[in-house]
Structure 1
Protein backbone atom coordinates (compact mmCIF):
# COMPACT_ATOMS: atom_id res chain seq x y z
CA UNK A 1 0.00 0.00 0.00
CA UNK A 2 1.33 3.42 -0.98
CA UNK A 3 0.64 6.42 1.26
CA UNK A 4 0.87 10.08 0.29
CA UNK A 5 2.44 11.71 3.35
CA UNK A 6 1.21 15.31 3.20
CA UNK A 7 3.02 17.16 5.97
CA UNK A 8 3.48 20.71 7.27
CA UNK A 9 6.44 20.57 9.64
CA UNK A 10 8.53 23.76 9.93
CA UNK A 11 10.76 22.53 12.77
CA UNK A 12 10.64 18.77 12.20
CA UNK A 13 8.54 17.62 15.16
CA UNK A 14 5.40 16.95 13.14
CA UNK A 15 7.44 15.18 10.48
CA UNK A 16 9.02 12.86 13.07
CA UNK A 17 5.61 11.79 14.31
CA UNK A 18 4.24 11.52 10.79
CA UNK A 19 7.17 9.34 9.71
CA UNK A 20 6.68 7.03 12.69
CA UNK A 21 3.03 6.56 11.77
CA UNK A 22 3.59 6.21 8.03
CA UNK A 23 6.42 3.68 8.46
CA UNK A 24 4.18 1.59 10.69
CA UNK A 25 1.43 1.69 8.05
CA UNK A 26 3.47 0.95 4.93
CA UNK A 27 6.95 0.83 3.41
CA UNK A 28 5.98 2.92 0.37
CA UNK A 29 5.38 6.65 0.77
CA UNK A 30 5.14 9.68 -1.49
CA UNK A 31 6.05 12.87 0.38
CA UNK A 32 4.27 16.18 -0.15
CA UNK A 33 5.92 19.04 1.77
CA UNK A 34 3.33 21.65 2.71
CA UNK A 35 6.07 24.08 3.80
CA UNK A 36 7.43 24.36 0.23
CA UNK A 37 6.45 27.73 -1.26
CA UNK A 38 7.48 26.78 -4.78
CA UNK A 39 5.07 23.84 -5.10
CA UNK A 40 1.81 24.21 -7.03
CA UNK A 41 -0.43 22.26 -4.67
CA UNK A 42 -3.26 22.48 -7.16
CA UNK A 43 -1.35 19.86 -9.15
CA UNK A 44 -1.51 17.34 -6.29
CA UNK A 45 -4.21 14.88 -7.25
CA UNK A 46 -5.06 11.51 -5.75
CA UNK A 47 -7.41 8.73 -6.84
CA UNK A 48 -10.18 7.04 -4.82
CA UNK A 49 -7.98 3.94 -4.39
CA UNK A 50 -5.17 5.87 -2.71
CA UNK A 51 -4.50 6.77 0.93
CA UNK A 52 -3.16 10.01 2.40
CA UNK A 53 -1.66 10.80 5.78
CA UNK A 54 -2.25 14.52 6.36
CA UNK A 55 -0.11 15.91 9.20
CA UNK A 56 -0.02 19.41 10.68
CA UNK A 57 1.11 21.01 13.95
CA UNK A 58 -1.45 22.66 16.20
CA UNK A 59 -0.91 26.42 16.41
CA UNK A 60 -2.87 27.71 19.40
CA UNK A 61 -5.50 25.04 18.82
CA UNK A 62 -5.86 25.65 15.07
CA UNK A 63 -4.49 24.40 11.75
CA UNK A 64 -1.78 26.80 10.49
CA UNK A 65 -3.50 29.09 7.98
CA UNK A 66 -0.96 28.50 5.22
CA UNK A 67 -1.19 24.72 5.62
CA UNK A 68 -4.98 24.90 5.42
CA UNK A 69 -4.82 26.96 2.22
CA UNK A 70 -2.33 24.61 0.54
CA UNK A 71 -4.36 21.55 1.51
CA UNK A 72 -7.51 23.18 0.16
CA UNK A 73 -5.88 23.52 -3.26
CA UNK A 74 -5.40 19.74 -3.60
CA UNK A 75 -7.72 17.25 -5.27
CA UNK A 76 -8.46 14.30 -2.98
CA UNK A 77 -11.01 12.73 -5.34
CA UNK A 78 -12.31 10.45 -2.61
CA UNK A 79 -8.92 9.16 -1.46
CA UNK A 80 -9.01 7.89 2.11
CA UNK A 81 -7.26 10.13 4.62
CA UNK A 82 -5.71 9.61 8.03
CA UNK A 83 -5.39 12.91 9.88
CA UNK A 84 -2.57 13.72 12.30
CA UNK A 85 -2.24 16.79 14.48
CA UNK A 86 0.89 17.26 16.57
CA UNK A 87 1.01 19.60 19.55
CA UNK A 88 3.50 20.69 22.19
CA UNK A 89 1.85 18.97 25.18
CA UNK A 90 -0.57 21.85 25.92
CA UNK A 91 -3.76 21.10 23.94
CA UNK A 92 -4.85 20.70 20.34
CA UNK A 93 -8.39 22.08 20.84
CA UNK A 94 -10.02 22.60 17.41
CA UNK A 95 -7.08 21.51 15.25
CA UNK A 96 -8.35 18.06 14.33
CA UNK A 97 -11.92 19.09 13.57
CA UNK A 98 -10.67 21.98 11.43
CA UNK A 99 -8.26 19.64 9.64
CA UNK A 100 -11.13 17.25 9.04
CA UNK A 101 -13.18 20.06 7.47
CA UNK A 102 -10.30 21.21 5.25
CA UNK A 103 -9.48 17.66 4.13
CA UNK A 104 -13.11 16.89 3.35
CA UNK A 105 -13.42 20.17 1.47
CA UNK A 106 -10.46 19.11 -0.68
CA UNK A 107 -12.18 15.85 -1.55
CA UNK A 108 -10.58 13.44 0.91
CA UNK A 109 -12.56 10.78 2.79
CA UNK A 110 -11.46 10.91 6.43
CA UNK A 111 -11.33 7.46 8.02
CA UNK A 112 -9.07 8.01 11.06
CA UNK A 113 -7.45 10.75 13.12
CA UNK A 114 -4.54 10.86 15.55
CA UNK A 115 -3.37 13.49 18.02
CA UNK A 116 0.23 13.19 19.18
CA UNK A 117 2.85 15.17 21.08
CA UNK A 118 6.23 16.51 19.99
CA UNK A 119 8.65 18.98 21.54
CA UNK A 120 7.11 22.44 21.77
CA UNK A 121 8.53 24.52 18.93
CA UNK A 122 8.91 27.71 21.01
CA UNK A 123 9.16 26.66 24.68
CA UNK A 124 11.34 23.66 23.93
CA UNK A 125 11.59 22.55 27.55
CA UNK A 126 8.06 21.17 27.22
CA UNK A 127 7.71 17.70 25.69
CA UNK A 128 11.50 17.67 25.22
CA UNK A 129 12.61 14.45 23.54
CA UNK A 130 9.17 13.61 22.25
CA UNK A 131 8.06 11.69 20.31
CA UNK A 132 9.90 9.09 22.39
CA UNK A 133 9.89 5.29 22.54
CA UNK A 134 6.59 5.21 24.42
CA UNK A 135 4.99 7.43 21.78
CA UNK A 136 6.37 5.30 18.96
CA UNK A 137 5.00 2.11 20.49
CA UNK A 138 1.58 3.71 20.82
CA UNK A 139 1.69 5.02 17.24
CA UNK A 140 2.58 1.54 15.99
CA UNK A 141 -0.44 0.12 17.77
CA UNK A 142 -2.62 2.87 16.26
CA UNK A 143 -1.20 2.11 12.82
CA UNK A 144 -2.11 -1.57 13.14
CA UNK A 145 -5.71 -0.67 13.89
CA UNK A 146 -5.84 1.90 11.09
CA UNK A 147 -4.33 -0.58 8.63
CA UNK A 148 -6.98 -3.16 9.52
CA UNK A 149 -9.69 -0.62 8.80
CA UNK A 150 -8.09 0.26 5.46
CA UNK A 151 -7.68 -3.39 4.48
CA UNK A 152 -11.29 -4.13 5.46
CA UNK A 153 -12.50 -1.27 3.28
CA UNK A 154 -13.89 0.71 6.20
CA UNK A 155 -15.10 4.16 5.16
CA UNK A 156 -17.03 5.36 8.20
CA UNK A 157 -15.80 8.70 9.52
CA UNK A 158 -14.67 8.84 13.14
CA UNK A 159 -16.13 11.24 15.68
CA UNK A 160 -13.47 13.93 16.07
CA UNK A 161 -13.36 16.37 19.02
CA UNK A 162 -13.50 20.11 18.50
CA UNK A 163 -15.81 23.05 18.12
CA UNK A 164 -17.46 24.92 15.28
CA UNK A 165 -17.00 27.80 15.02
CA UNK A 166 -13.33 27.18 15.74
CA UNK A 167 -11.50 29.05 18.48
CA UNK A 168 -10.21 32.46 17.42
CA UNK A 169 -6.88 32.22 15.63
CA UNK A 170 -3.98 33.73 17.56
CA UNK A 171 -1.76 36.36 15.99
CA UNK A 172 1.88 35.58 15.29
CA UNK A 173 3.36 37.79 17.99
CA UNK A 174 6.66 35.94 18.42
CA UNK A 175 9.03 36.88 15.60
CA UNK A 176 12.59 35.52 15.74
CA UNK A 177 15.33 38.05 15.05
CA UNK A 178 18.75 37.81 13.43
CA UNK A 179 21.76 38.16 15.73
CA UNK A 180 25.27 39.43 15.00
CA UNK A 181 26.24 35.87 14.07
CA UNK A 182 24.15 36.15 10.89
CA UNK A 183 26.30 35.88 7.73
CA UNK A 184 23.39 36.54 5.35
CA UNK A 185 23.59 33.10 3.79
CA UNK A 186 19.90 33.34 2.92
CA UNK A 187 18.92 29.85 4.06
CA UNK A 188 16.30 31.13 6.49
CA UNK A 189 14.69 33.21 3.73
CA UNK A 190 14.73 30.29 1.30
CA UNK A 191 13.17 27.90 3.81
CA UNK A 192 10.57 30.25 5.34
CA UNK A 193 7.18 28.66 4.54
CA UNK A 194 5.54 32.07 3.97
CA UNK A 195 8.39 34.14 2.52
CA UNK A 196 8.48 36.53 5.45
CA UNK A 197 12.27 37.02 5.47
CA UNK A 198 14.17 39.32 3.10
CA UNK A 199 16.68 37.18 1.18
CA UNK A 200 19.29 39.97 0.93
CA UNK A 201 18.75 41.39 4.41
CA UNK A 202 17.64 38.52 6.67
CA UNK A 203 17.26 40.92 9.60
CA UNK A 204 14.20 42.31 7.82
CA UNK A 205 11.07 40.31 8.55
CA UNK A 206 7.52 40.99 7.41
CA UNK A 207 5.77 40.67 10.76
CA UNK A 208 2.37 40.43 9.10
CA UNK A 209 3.46 37.37 7.14
CA UNK A 210 5.42 35.65 9.92
CA UNK A 211 3.48 32.76 11.48
CA UNK A 212 5.91 32.18 14.40
CA UNK A 213 6.68 28.68 13.09
CA UNK A 214 10.36 28.83 14.18
CA UNK A 215 11.57 27.33 10.89
CA UNK A 216 14.24 30.05 10.58
CA UNK A 217 15.59 29.23 14.05
CA UNK A 218 15.63 25.51 13.30
CA UNK A 219 17.43 25.69 9.94
CA UNK A 220 20.04 28.39 10.60
CA UNK A 221 23.49 26.70 10.41
CA UNK A 222 25.05 29.50 12.45
CA UNK A 223 22.43 29.58 15.25
CA UNK A 224 21.98 33.22 14.34
CA UNK A 225 18.23 33.57 14.81
CA UNK A 226 16.47 33.57 18.16
CA UNK A 227 13.46 34.72 20.11
CA UNK A 228 13.88 37.49 22.67
CA UNK A 229 14.92 35.75 25.89
CA UNK A 230 12.57 37.71 28.13
CA UNK A 231 9.65 36.91 25.85
CA UNK A 232 10.71 33.27 25.76
CA UNK A 233 10.82 33.15 29.56
CA UNK A 234 7.35 34.70 29.73
CA UNK A 235 5.94 32.13 27.30
CA UNK A 236 7.53 29.36 29.37
CA UNK A 237 5.87 30.60 32.55
CA UNK A 238 2.50 30.97 30.84
CA UNK A 239 2.63 27.39 29.55
CA UNK A 240 4.03 25.75 32.66
CA UNK A 241 0.75 24.63 34.24
CA UNK A 242 -0.81 23.38 31.00
CA UNK A 243 2.30 21.67 29.62
CA UNK A 244 3.94 20.07 32.63
CA UNK A 245 1.82 16.90 32.81
CA UNK A 246 2.52 14.35 30.10
CA UNK A 247 -0.26 13.91 27.53
CA UNK A 248 -0.66 10.66 25.62
CA UNK A 249 -1.31 10.08 21.94
CA UNK A 250 -4.97 9.65 20.99
CA UNK A 251 -6.69 7.73 18.17
CA UNK A 252 -10.10 8.38 16.64
CA UNK A 253 -11.20 5.51 14.43
Structure 2
Protein backbone atom coordinates (compact mmCIF):
# COMPACT_ATOMS: atom_id res chain seq x y z
CA UNK A 1 0.00 0.00 0.00
CA UNK A 2 1.29 3.41 -0.98
CA UNK A 3 0.16 6.46 0.95
CA UNK A 4 -0.49 9.87 -0.58
CA UNK A 5 -1.19 13.16 1.20
CA UNK A 6 -3.22 15.44 -1.05
CA UNK A 7 -3.59 18.90 0.45
CA UNK A 8 -4.80 22.40 -0.31
CA UNK A 9 -3.27 24.44 2.49
CA UNK A 10 -2.43 28.06 1.64
CA UNK A 11 -1.44 29.12 5.17
CA UNK A 12 -0.27 25.80 6.62
CA UNK A 13 -2.98 24.99 9.16
CA UNK A 14 -4.61 22.31 7.03
CA UNK A 15 -1.20 20.87 6.22
CA UNK A 16 -0.29 20.64 9.89
CA UNK A 17 -3.50 18.79 10.78
CA UNK A 18 -3.10 16.46 7.80
CA UNK A 19 0.52 15.75 8.70
CA UNK A 20 -0.44 14.78 12.26
CA UNK A 21 -3.05 12.33 11.01
CA UNK A 22 -1.00 10.93 8.14
CA UNK A 23 2.06 10.36 10.32
CA UNK A 24 0.00 7.96 12.42
CA UNK A 25 -1.58 6.23 9.42
CA UNK A 26 1.59 5.63 7.45
CA UNK A 27 5.23 6.37 8.12
CA UNK A 28 5.94 7.59 4.60
CA UNK A 29 3.66 9.44 2.21
CA UNK A 30 3.96 11.07 -1.20
CA UNK A 31 2.80 14.69 -1.14
CA UNK A 32 0.45 16.18 -3.73
CA UNK A 33 0.21 19.95 -3.21
CA UNK A 34 -3.00 21.32 -4.73
CA UNK A 35 -1.91 24.93 -4.15
CA UNK A 36 0.72 24.77 -6.89
CA UNK A 37 -0.23 27.23 -9.58
CA UNK A 38 0.64 25.36 -12.75
CA UNK A 39 1.08 21.71 -11.73
CA UNK A 40 -0.34 19.00 -13.96
CA UNK A 41 -2.46 17.18 -11.39
CA UNK A 42 -3.88 14.90 -14.06
CA UNK A 43 -0.51 13.13 -14.05
CA UNK A 44 -1.22 11.80 -10.56
CA UNK A 45 -2.74 8.31 -10.80
CA UNK A 46 -3.49 5.89 -7.98
CA UNK A 47 -4.34 2.22 -7.57
CA UNK A 48 -7.02 0.41 -5.58
CA UNK A 49 -4.39 -0.66 -3.03
CA UNK A 50 -3.36 2.93 -2.27
CA UNK A 51 -4.48 5.19 0.56
CA UNK A 52 -5.01 8.91 0.05
CA UNK A 53 -5.45 11.48 2.79
CA UNK A 54 -7.27 14.39 1.12
CA UNK A 55 -7.22 17.56 3.22
CA UNK A 56 -8.75 20.97 2.53
CA UNK A 57 -9.71 24.04 4.56
CA UNK A 58 -13.32 25.08 5.04
CA UNK A 59 -14.01 28.48 3.48
CA UNK A 60 -17.42 29.65 4.67
CA UNK A 61 -18.60 26.06 5.04
CA UNK A 62 -17.50 25.00 1.56
CA UNK A 63 -14.45 23.50 -0.14
CA UNK A 64 -12.44 26.16 -2.02
CA UNK A 65 -13.60 25.94 -5.64
CA UNK A 66 -10.07 25.72 -6.98
CA UNK A 67 -9.39 22.72 -4.73
CA UNK A 68 -12.48 20.94 -6.09
CA UNK A 69 -11.36 21.70 -9.63
CA UNK A 70 -7.84 20.36 -9.12
CA UNK A 71 -9.01 17.34 -7.18
CA UNK A 72 -11.26 16.53 -10.11
CA UNK A 73 -8.28 16.08 -12.41
CA UNK A 74 -6.79 13.27 -10.30
CA UNK A 75 -7.31 9.63 -11.24
CA UNK A 76 -8.37 7.87 -8.04
CA UNK A 77 -8.85 4.45 -9.68
CA UNK A 78 -10.57 3.08 -6.58
CA UNK A 79 -7.93 4.15 -4.05
CA UNK A 80 -9.19 4.41 -0.48
CA UNK A 81 -9.54 7.95 0.81
CA UNK A 82 -9.58 9.56 4.24
CA UNK A 83 -11.08 13.03 3.99
CA UNK A 84 -9.97 15.88 6.23
CA UNK A 85 -11.61 19.28 6.46
CA UNK A 86 -9.96 21.88 8.65
CA UNK A 87 -11.81 24.91 9.97
CA UNK A 88 -11.05 27.90 12.17
CA UNK A 89 -13.24 26.98 15.17
CA UNK A 90 -16.47 28.35 13.64
CA UNK A 91 -18.19 25.56 11.64
CA UNK A 92 -17.45 23.37 8.64
CA UNK A 93 -21.08 23.01 7.49
CA UNK A 94 -21.12 21.37 4.01
CA UNK A 95 -17.35 21.10 3.52
CA UNK A 96 -17.05 17.37 4.18
CA UNK A 97 -20.10 16.55 2.06
CA UNK A 98 -18.72 18.54 -0.86
CA UNK A 99 -15.28 17.02 -0.41
CA UNK A 100 -16.81 13.54 -0.37
CA UNK A 101 -18.62 14.20 -3.65
CA UNK A 102 -15.46 15.59 -5.26
CA UNK A 103 -13.38 12.62 -4.10
CA UNK A 104 -15.92 10.08 -5.35
CA UNK A 105 -16.18 11.92 -8.67
CA UNK A 106 -12.38 11.64 -8.97
CA UNK A 107 -12.58 7.86 -8.46
CA UNK A 108 -11.68 7.48 -4.76
CA UNK A 109 -13.44 5.22 -2.24
CA UNK A 110 -14.14 7.21 0.92
CA UNK A 111 -13.62 5.10 4.04
CA UNK A 112 -13.33 7.78 6.74
CA UNK A 113 -13.59 11.51 7.30
CA UNK A 114 -12.20 13.89 9.89
CA UNK A 115 -13.08 17.44 10.86
CA UNK A 116 -10.15 19.18 12.55
CA UNK A 117 -9.47 22.66 13.86
CA UNK A 118 -6.62 25.01 13.03
CA UNK A 119 -5.92 28.68 13.54
CA UNK A 120 -8.40 30.86 11.67
CA UNK A 121 -6.64 32.05 8.53
CA UNK A 122 -8.15 35.56 8.58
CA UNK A 123 -8.82 36.42 12.25
CA UNK A 124 -5.87 34.55 13.64
CA UNK A 125 -6.62 34.98 17.33
CA UNK A 126 -9.36 32.37 16.98
CA UNK A 127 -8.02 28.84 17.45
CA UNK A 128 -4.56 30.37 17.77
CA UNK A 129 -1.85 27.72 18.02
CA UNK A 130 -4.11 24.91 16.88
CA UNK A 131 -3.80 22.11 16.14
CA UNK A 132 -2.22 21.89 19.59
CA UNK A 133 -1.09 19.02 21.83
CA UNK A 134 -4.68 18.03 22.65
CA UNK A 135 -5.58 18.03 18.98
CA UNK A 136 -2.54 15.88 18.24
CA UNK A 137 -3.65 13.26 20.77
CA UNK A 138 -7.14 13.24 19.30
CA UNK A 139 -5.84 12.88 15.74
CA UNK A 140 -3.64 10.01 16.90
CA UNK A 141 -6.72 8.30 18.34
CA UNK A 142 -8.62 8.91 15.10
CA UNK A 143 -5.75 7.40 13.10
CA UNK A 144 -5.72 4.30 15.30
CA UNK A 145 -9.41 3.70 14.57
CA UNK A 146 -8.87 4.23 10.85
CA UNK A 147 -5.93 1.80 10.89
CA UNK A 148 -8.17 -0.80 12.53
CA UNK A 149 -10.73 -0.34 9.76
CA UNK A 150 -8.05 -0.68 7.10
CA UNK A 151 -6.59 -3.79 8.74
CA UNK A 152 -10.04 -5.38 8.81
CA UNK A 153 -10.45 -4.77 5.09
CA UNK A 154 -13.55 -2.73 5.85
CA UNK A 155 -14.34 -0.36 2.98
CA UNK A 156 -17.79 0.68 4.13
CA UNK A 157 -18.72 4.26 3.43
CA UNK A 158 -19.15 6.43 6.53
CA UNK A 159 -22.16 8.67 7.12
CA UNK A 160 -20.76 12.13 6.48
CA UNK A 161 -22.75 15.24 7.53
CA UNK A 162 -23.71 18.03 5.18
CA UNK A 163 -26.40 19.32 2.88
CA UNK A 164 -27.02 18.76 -0.80
CA UNK A 165 -27.39 21.16 -2.43
CA UNK A 166 -24.56 22.79 -0.52
CA UNK A 167 -24.90 26.17 1.13
CA UNK A 168 -24.33 29.09 -1.18
CA UNK A 169 -20.65 29.93 -1.53
CA UNK A 170 -19.65 33.43 -0.62
CA UNK A 171 -16.28 35.14 -0.55
CA UNK A 172 -15.03 37.09 2.44
CA UNK A 173 -14.29 40.07 0.23
CA UNK A 174 -10.98 40.52 2.02
CA UNK A 175 -8.31 41.09 -0.59
CA UNK A 176 -4.88 41.62 1.00
CA UNK A 177 -2.92 44.58 -0.30
CA UNK A 178 0.71 45.57 0.13
CA UNK A 179 1.79 48.49 2.23
CA UNK A 180 4.90 50.66 2.17
CA UNK A 181 7.08 47.77 3.34
CA UNK A 182 6.64 45.90 0.06
CA UNK A 183 9.97 45.57 -1.76
CA UNK A 184 8.50 43.88 -4.85
CA UNK A 185 10.28 40.59 -4.19
CA UNK A 186 7.44 38.79 -6.01
CA UNK A 187 7.16 35.85 -3.60
CA UNK A 188 3.44 36.49 -3.11
CA UNK A 189 2.81 36.33 -6.85
CA UNK A 190 4.94 33.21 -7.18
CA UNK A 191 3.08 31.38 -4.42
CA UNK A 192 -0.49 32.63 -4.95
CA UNK A 193 -2.56 29.49 -5.67
CA UNK A 194 -4.77 31.25 -8.24
CA UNK A 195 -2.49 33.75 -10.07
CA UNK A 196 -4.34 36.67 -8.47
CA UNK A 197 -1.17 38.77 -7.98
CA UNK A 198 0.62 40.35 -10.93
CA UNK A 199 4.23 39.01 -10.97
CA UNK A 200 5.38 42.17 -12.76
CA UNK A 201 3.69 44.40 -10.22
CA UNK A 202 2.85 42.75 -6.87
CA UNK A 203 0.99 45.90 -5.90
CA UNK A 204 -1.72 44.79 -8.32
CA UNK A 205 -4.12 42.07 -7.13
CA UNK A 206 -7.03 40.83 -9.23
CA UNK A 207 -9.99 41.05 -6.84
CA UNK A 208 -12.04 38.69 -9.00
CA UNK A 209 -9.41 35.96 -8.85
CA UNK A 210 -8.42 36.37 -5.19
CA UNK A 211 -9.96 33.70 -2.91
CA UNK A 212 -8.90 35.43 0.33
CA UNK A 213 -6.78 32.45 1.30
CA UNK A 214 -4.27 34.74 3.06
CA UNK A 215 -1.21 32.91 1.76
CA UNK A 216 0.36 36.16 0.60
CA UNK A 217 -0.10 37.62 4.09
CA UNK A 218 1.40 34.58 5.80
CA UNK A 219 4.50 34.25 3.59
CA UNK A 220 5.47 37.89 2.96
CA UNK A 221 9.08 38.27 4.23
CA UNK A 222 8.43 41.94 5.00
CA UNK A 223 5.00 41.42 6.61
CA UNK A 224 3.89 44.02 4.10
CA UNK A 225 0.60 42.49 2.92
CA UNK A 226 -2.47 43.21 5.05
CA UNK A 227 -6.23 43.15 4.84
CA UNK A 228 -8.33 46.26 5.41
CA UNK A 229 -8.24 46.83 9.21
CA UNK A 230 -11.86 48.00 9.31
CA UNK A 231 -13.02 44.83 7.56
CA UNK A 232 -10.79 42.73 9.80
CA UNK A 233 -12.28 44.31 12.92
CA UNK A 234 -15.80 43.68 11.60
CA UNK A 235 -14.96 40.03 10.92
CA UNK A 236 -13.49 39.69 14.40
CA UNK A 237 -16.68 41.04 15.96
CA UNK A 238 -18.86 38.78 13.81
CA UNK A 239 -16.88 35.68 14.74
CA UNK A 240 -16.52 36.43 18.45
CA UNK A 241 -19.73 34.72 19.56
CA UNK A 242 -19.30 31.55 17.46
CA UNK A 243 -15.53 31.12 17.67
CA UNK A 244 -14.73 31.81 21.32
CA UNK A 245 -15.63 28.40 22.78
CA UNK A 246 -13.19 25.63 21.94
CA UNK A 247 -14.50 23.08 19.44
CA UNK A 248 -13.13 19.57 19.09
CA UNK A 249 -12.38 17.40 16.10
CA UNK A 250 -14.78 14.76 14.83
CA UNK A 251 -14.31 11.37 13.19
CA UNK A 252 -16.74 9.72 10.78
CA UNK A 253 -15.93 6.09 10.20
Q: Could you give the per-residue CA deviations for residues 106-137 of structure 1, whole angstroms, max 9, x where no partner exists?
A: 00000000000000000001000100000000
In the alignment, structure 1 residue 100 sits paired with structure 2 residue 103: no
Which runs of 5 or more residues in structure 2 are unaligned?
none
How far has the Cα of 1:172 moved from its partner? 4.4
2:170 aligns with: 170
Q: CA RMSD in A?
A: 0.7
Q: Distance in 2 between matches of 1:167 and 1:230?
A: 27
1:3 aligns with: 3
How many residue pairs match? The answer is 253
- Corresponding residue SS for 1:145: helix
1:190 aligns with: 190
Equivalent residues of 2:2, 2:49 under 8 A apart? no
Which runs of 5 or more residues in structure 1 are unaligned?
none
Q: Distance in 1 between matches of 2:16 and 2:2?
A: 19
Equivalent residues of 1:172, 1:210 under 8 A apart? no
- Corresponding residue SS for 1:140: helix
In the alignment, structure 1 residue 21 sits paired with structure 2 residue 49: no
Q: Distance in 2 between matches of 1:111 and 1:25?
A: 13
1:79 aligns with: 79
- Corresponding residue SS for 2:143: helix
1:30 aligns with: 30
Segment drifting more, 223-232 vs 92-101:
223-232
What's the TM-score once normalised by structure 2's chain length?
0.99
Equivalent residues of 1:90, 1:239 under 8 A apart? yes
- Corresponding residue SS for 1:120: coil
4+ residue segments displaced more than 4 Å? none
2:223 aligns with: 223
Equivalent residues of 2:116, 2:248 under 8 A apart? yes
Q: Could you give the per-residue CA deviations for residues 33-92 of structure 1, whole angstroms, max 9, x where no partner exists?
A: 000012101111100000000000000000000000000010000000000000000000
Q: Distance in 2 between matches of 1:251 and 1:228?
A: 36
Equivalent residues of 1:2, 1:27 under 8 A apart? no
Residue 97 and residue 74 in structure 1: after superposition, are their counterparts in 2 closer, same or farther (change >3 A)?
same
- Corresponding residue SS for 1:28: coil
What's the TM-score once normalised by structure 1's chain length?
0.99
How far has the Cα of 1:210 moved from its partner? 0.2
